[in-house]
Amino acid sequence: MNLVAANPFRIIGLPADAGLKDITANRGKIEAHLRVGKDIVFPYDFNNTIGTPVERTIGSVNGAFARLNLPKDKLRHAMFWFVNASRIDEMSLNHLFAGNPDKALEILSRQESYSSLINISTINFIIGNTADSILALTKVLSNESYRNMLVQSIVGDSFAVTEDELFKLVIDELFDNSGLNHAEIVKHFYSLRGYAYAKVKYSLAPIRQIEEEVAKASNVDRQNPVLRYQAGVSLVRKTKTDINNLKTILGTSDTKYQVIADKLAKEILHCGIDYFNHTADEDDVEKALSLQDYAYNLAVGKILKDRCKENVDILKRKREMNTLDADIAYLANELKEFQNKPKNLNVVQALINNCKPKLLKLKEHLGIGNELYLKISSAVAGNSLGMLVEVINNAQSDQLKVRSGELSTEVGNALRLMDQINSLDMNPQEKLRVTENGTTLMRMQMQLKMATISQRANQSSSSNNTGCAVFFLIAIVVAIIITLAN
């Protein structure tokens, strides 16, 4: 909006195509009013439309005339102001003087010309329709006839200027004085003639900002892990928006983007490496990985990207080993506590439930044939089996449980647990023990069922006879306790 509100043509109170006579006359009027301390108002102040009042001081007036001295500067400001080159322009400007931009636009749309497009562009800029403003302006610059008429009306026939030079003037003004978001300006020029230059213009500020932040980070003591980590985190945070916008606007194939992205990625990588090499933090892997993984995703060049990947892979393996160490310690503690718990099948079930997820993680990372994994899994199976056998042996020794049928229930529950134990990976020796004891339990269950049937038959033939079943059970004694060290 500053391009219009503080336009030097507005300050001198004239359209951009005003002649030298009118310019000289207005200068005299303005200076005369300033000498006596009075304000002066011109129709081209457009106070009803623009809103912001014109600031006319000796300094601002002299500055306005100075900004219109050179032909190129005069063109620069004319493209963001009004021209009065036709009857259509005059009619529309009268409505604009009255504060009716919609009616002015409606009149200007009746007949296309270089002047109507310039005026349409300026009105749209005032009311916030930036895309329409730029589209109308680029129509003038891209049309040779319109372009020549614009230049002639502003600076005469003697000044030569190319289409590209005019586009650069427009884009420079939008970036430097419009107050618009620079990324949005570039998007408005997409598919238009000035797009390539707009991208270059846009890239200057964020690249400079990123380079400054990289320089700050690189000056931090590389032997101090705390400061290096903080420098890396700060570098990521302060440059993320700029580098993402550069990636979106320039594209990863653009050389400027590749250079600055690799420069940024390299420093972030070094921050992560320096931190990891000198820290004693417990969460050092996660902190370093957060920086190095970001650097890997950011890097473009193959050599740097390969180096980042190598460091990321090392840290991920380290993280996996840390996780495995924690899981192994967890399993060892479960087995240790298991020894002091009461002997019942619920405790066996709890051990299997608690250990199985950790065992699956070990299996995934170490492999089913890994000696350590098999040793731990076999220990869980063996300890589970040992308590299960002890519970059944105790139950069959209790005549009350035998007579009440509680033993039969315990055996059924034990067989269901045996299926879960059997699903664990084990070494061959442990697998054999589990299989043998499973067979014994099934034989025991069958004997119990047969005894129950026989007892019911005897009770129906003679209610006076009593007796009890005699079982010949294979003794089961298995005690396996494996103590795992961290």
CA distances, 228 to each of 216, 231, 311 (Å): 11, 5, 17
Mean pLDDT, residues 140-151: 95
**Buried-exposed string 141-159: b where 16+ CB fall within 10 A, e elsewhere:** bebeebbebbbebbbeeee
Residue 282's pLDDT band (cuts 50, 70, 90): confident
Q: With 60 as the cut, is the pLDDT of residue 213 above it?
A: yes
Q: Judge whether residue 452 has pLDDT over 90.
A: no
| Most confident of the following: 66-80, 405-419, 452-466 | 66-80
- Predicted pLDDT of residue 460: 55
What single letter denotes the amino acid at residue 157? D
360: CB partners within 8 A, 6+ apart: none
Query: What's the rounded mean pLDDT across residues 212-236?
Result: 96
pLDDT range class, residue 458, cuts 50, 70, 90: low
Q: Is the pLDDT of residue 11 over 60?
A: yes
Please give the DSSP secondary-structure letter assigned to residue 223. T
Q: How far is residue 28 from each of residues 24, 25, 33, 41, measured CA to CA in Å?
A: 6, 5, 9, 14
Tell whether the model's pLDDT for residue 466 goes beyond 70: no
Q: Mean pLDDT, the chain, as a whole number?
A: 89
Residue 57 burial by CB count (10 A; 0-12/13-18/19+): exposed, middle or buried? exposed
- Mean pLDDT along residues 6-21: 95
**pLDDT value of position 478:** 30
| Average pLDDT for 183-210 | 91
**Confidence band (pLDDT; 50, 70, 90) for 245?**
very high
Percent of the chain whose pLDDT exceeds 70? 93
pLDDT band at 447 (very low <50, low <70, confident <90, very high): confident
Please, where are the H alpha helices in 128-194? 130-142, 144-155, 163-177, 182-188
On the question of pLDDT at 322 being above 90, the answer is: no
Cα–Cα distance for residue pair 347/364, rounded to 1 Å: 26
Whole-angstrom distance, CA of residue 105 vs CA of residue 116: 9
- Mean pLDDT confidence for 357-379: 91
Q: What is the pLDDT of residue 397?
A: 86
Whether residue 477 has pLDDT greater than 70: no
Mean per-residue pLDDT, 317-327: 83
| pLDDT band at residue 461 under the 50/70/90 scheme | low
Handedness of CA 319, 321, 327, 332 (dihedral sign): negative
- Please give the average per-residue pLDDT across 231-255, as a whole number: 95
* pLDDT for position 470: 29
Q: Which of 228-237, 337-346, 365-374, 412-421 has the lowest mean pLDDT?
A: 365-374
Angle 139-177-1 (CA atoms, 0-180°, nearest 5)?
Answer: 75
pLDDT in tens, 99-141: 999 999 999 999 999 999 999 999 999 999 999 999 999 999 9
Model pLDDT for residues 295-306, shown as the tens digit of each residue = 999 999 999 999
Q: What is the pLDDT of residue 324?
A: 83
Q: Evaluate if residue 462 carries a pLDDT over 80.
A: no
For the cut 50, the answer to whether the pLDDT of residue 465 exceeds it is no
CA distance 273 to 254: 28
User: Residue 305: its pLDDT value, please?
Assistant: 96
What average pLDDT does this structure show over 273-285? 91
Lowest mean pLDDT across 147-151, 319-323, 462-466 = 462-466
Q: What is the pLDDT of residue 304?
A: 96
| Coil/strand/helix, residue 251 | coil
The DSSP call for residue 24 is: H
Higher pLDDT, 344 or 466: 344
Quick check: 239 and 293 in contact, CB under 8 A?
no
Could you tell me if 299 and 265 are in contact, meaning their C-beta atoms sit under 8 angstroms apart? yes
pLDDT tens for 27-68 read 999 999 999 999 999 999 999 899 889 989 999 999 999 999
Q: What pLDDT is recorded for position 400?
A: 80
pLDDT tier at 403 (50, 70, 90 boundaries)? confident
Mean pLDDT of 338-342: 94
What would the mean pLDDT of 168-185 be, rounded to a whole number?
92
Query: Against a cut of 0.75, is the pTM above it?
Result: no
For the chain, how big is the Rg over CA atoms in Å? 43
**Structural domain boundaries in the chain:** 2-193, 201-322, 341-458
pLDDT(434) > 60: yes
Which SS3 state, helix, strand or coil, does residue 113 take? Answer: coil
Q: What is the DSSP letter of 43?
A: G
Give the C-alpha separation, 480 to 354, whole Å: 19
